[in-house]
Every structure is written in C-alpha cells, then in structure tokens.
Amino acid sequence: MLKQFILQSLTRGLKTGVVLAAATNAAIMVASDRETGSPWAALNCVAHIVDGDAKEQPVDYAPRESAIGVFINGTAMCAWGVLYEGGLLLVKGKSSSLTALLAAAGAYFIDYKLVPKQYTPGIEQRLSHRSVLVSYATFAAMLALSPLWNPAVPSEDS
C-alpha cells in the first residue's frame, strides 16, 4: 500500500512538475524580457541560491547561471508537483481551482516568508511584484489543469 502510494505520488507528481517547470520558466522569461529586455535576467538571479547575494548575476544568457536557474526552478517545480499530487492522493481529493490556488499561495508563503533570504527564488531581484505574482498564478493554473495529464485514480470501492 505504501509502495503504491509512493509510486503514484512520484509518477503523477513528476508529470505535473515537468509541466510546472516548463510553464513557470516560460512565464518568468516572458516577464523578464518585458521588464529587463532579456528573457534570462530573472532566471539567472536564481543562481543566488548557489552564489550568495553578494554576486551580481548576469542579465543576458550565461551558460552557468542560466543553467543553474533553469535547473533549480525545474527541480523545485518537480518537488512541488510531487507534494501536490501526493497530498491529493493522501486525502483522496481531486485537483481543482481551489486546491491549486491554495497550493500556489502556500508555495509563495514558504518561498518568501519562511525560507531564509538566500533560498528565495531570486526572480524578485529583477521582476516587479506583479510579475512574480503572475509566475505563481501560472503555477496555480498548471496545478488546476493537472487532471488533463493525471486522470482520476480509481477508488478502492469501484
């Protein structure tokens, strides 16, 4: 039973995580291009998690910082996907606009209120607060759409 739960959480969560990674990276890059003139500026700032806040991150594509930004955001999105899908399985719930919105609000709260500043996403260094919120709205929208790639799990009663 536990093994099946873990396997389903990982399978469903990683699918959701990959979609979250693609969508949030795209939203961040579009906002970054609009606000800074470079799609990479905000994602490069995610490298502050590795480099610390004292190092100025490049604005344009930089092989190291851009890869770190895409990798860390992608990994975080996969983790959130597994937590979300696992949570739904645990409570035998279904993804909805409400569960997605609550999960995104929880992620925002954790990212900006609970974790130390060195571990915040970093996109806020180059993006307006509005654009940061748009990236979390994108996160919520993808969670709400997750039943498209994760069909309902048959109940034990059926």
Q: Is residue 31 part of a domain?
A: yes
Contacts of 75 (CB under 8 A, 6+ apart): none
Which range marks the domain in which residue 55 is found?
A: 2-148
**Model confidence, pTM:** 0.93
Q: Provide the 3-class DSSP secondary structure of residue 95.
A: coil
Q: Is residue 23 part of a domain?
A: yes
Q: Is residue 57 part of a domain?
A: yes
Q: Is residue 36 part of a domain?
A: yes
Structural domain count of the chain: 1
- Nearest Cα neighbor of 5 from 93, 90, 84 is 90
The pLDDT tens digits along the chain (158 residues) read 899 999 999 999 999 999 999 999 999 999 999 999 999 999 999 999 999 998 999 999 999 999 999 999 999 999 999 999 999 999 999 999 999 999 999 999 999 999 999 999 999 999 999 999 999 999 999 999 999 999 887 665 54
Q: Is residue 73 part of a domain?
A: yes
Q: Is residue 153 part of a domain?
A: no
Q: Helix count (H) and strand count (E) of the chain?
A: 6, 0
